[in-house]
Amino acid sequence: MNLRGRSFLKESDFTPAEWLGLIELATSLKKETKEGHERQRLLGKSIGLIFEKTSTRTRCAFEVAAFQQGAHTTYLDPVSSQIGHKESVADTARVLGRFYDGIEFRGDRQADVEALAKFSGVPVFNGLTDDWHPTQMLADALTIREHTGKPFDQVVHAYLGDGRFNTGRSLLVSSAMLGMDVRIVAPVAYQPDAEAIAIARQFAQETGARITITDDVATGVAGADVISTDVWVSMGEPKEVWNQRVADLADYQVNAQVMAQTGNPDAIFMHCLPAFHDLETAVGRQVYEATGMDALEVTEEVFSSPASVVFDQAENRMHTIKAVMVAMLAGA
């Protein structure tokens, strides 16, 4: 696998073999780090981190991974650069491409991360857009392999909730690339768009993945090894959608009954985080006042159960983002 000089914009820019190769690279880099003999492959590199939306995991994963590999980062927060307000993405890209060896971008529009790659001339990494969340998918895959101990083509992966947005769409495509039995379990109005389904089906022809899109929870989760979900309201969506969203998705909450419906006592629970499992945050309290629900997409019981691997999953953001930067900037 030689991905040097490539950008990391969405899953479908890669072949299944390349996708798996990034997971293997992350596995070996994680081992190096844990064993305390990390070789620095990014010495002297500079990486720009543009965040038009807030982040905890993605930002910190890029910063720590870059530091451990010997690279320098600059963090541009949602308000303190000119990008998007006074200066176009294309002009920003032309400037930053002269300073940096690689650029991470998180924002609304997939078109912006694509333009950044086109005009900067350096590898660009998608740290989440409304359409795709590809760095998350590598972390999820690594976590699934570590916790199920199964080859990807024997894993049944069910995702409950909003299937139309970044995490749901990416999970469908990435799981298909890895040959999983993937189920998107959502009300019809929240199921992935035709484009995402077509991309997944195309990969499935090559990998043998099985794809189910259903609004029936019992059918969707039966036999699952992994139950995943995401927030019901994503960053950038207006507050006004909360009540309708909660009403529409309440039956798709991951709770003890759903975990039991898998029929698999070893089924694990995953969530990219942040999660509304308790409503102890400021936003959570507002949600509670508006809806009366004390948890949204996952109950506290499941989130805090032994089945929940969400913090291992979060740690793997760092190891997999490191693999992406090493592959694209140093070659691997």
Give the footprint of ligand NVA on this chain (CB under 6 A).
Answer: 128, 165-167, 230-231, 234-235, 272
58 binds ligand CP (CB under 6 A): yes
Site mask for ligand CP (CB under 6 A), range 187-206, x = bound: --------------------
Report whether 136 belongs to an annotated binding site: yes
230 is known as an active-site residue: yes
Nearest partner of 9 among 146, 157, 110, 143, judged by Cα: 110
Residue 253's alpha-carbon distances to 67, 140, 284, 286, 297, in angstroms, are 38, 20, 16, 19, 5
Of residues 55, 73, 126, 316, which one binds ligand CP by CB under 6 A? 55
Report whether 201 belongs to an annotated binding site: no
Runs of H (alpha helix) within the chain: 16-35, 57-68, 89-99, 110-120, 134-148, 166-177, 194-207, 217-221, 242-249, 256-261, 282-291, 300-303, 310-329
Of residues 1, 64, 95, 273, which one binds ligand CP by CB under 6 A? 273
Q: Report d(CA 5, CA 18) in Å as an integer.
A: 14
136 binds ligand CP (CB under 6 A): yes
60 is known as an active-site residue: no
136 is known as an active-site residue: yes
Q: Report d(CA 286, CA 46) in Å as an integer.
A: 40
98 is known as an active-site residue: no
For residues 167 and 320, which CB has a smaller minimum distance to ligand NVA in the complex?
A: 167
Catalytic annotation, pick one of 136, 191, 253, 313: 136
Nearest partner of 13 among 168, 158, 117, judged by Cα: 117
Report whether 106 belongs to an annotated binding site: yes
Query: What is the side-by-side order of every strand in the sheet holding 156-160?
Result: 210-214, 181-185, 156-160, 226-229, 268-271
131 is known as an active-site residue: no
Where does this chain bind ligand CP (CB under 6 A)? 55-58, 128, 136, 272-273
Q: Which residues are annotated as a binding site for carbamoyl phosphate?
A: 55-58, 82, 106, 133-136, 272-273, 317
By annotation, the residues acting in catalysis are: 106, 133, 136, 230, 272, 317
Q: Which residues are annotated as a binding site for L-ornithine?
A: 166, 230, 234-235
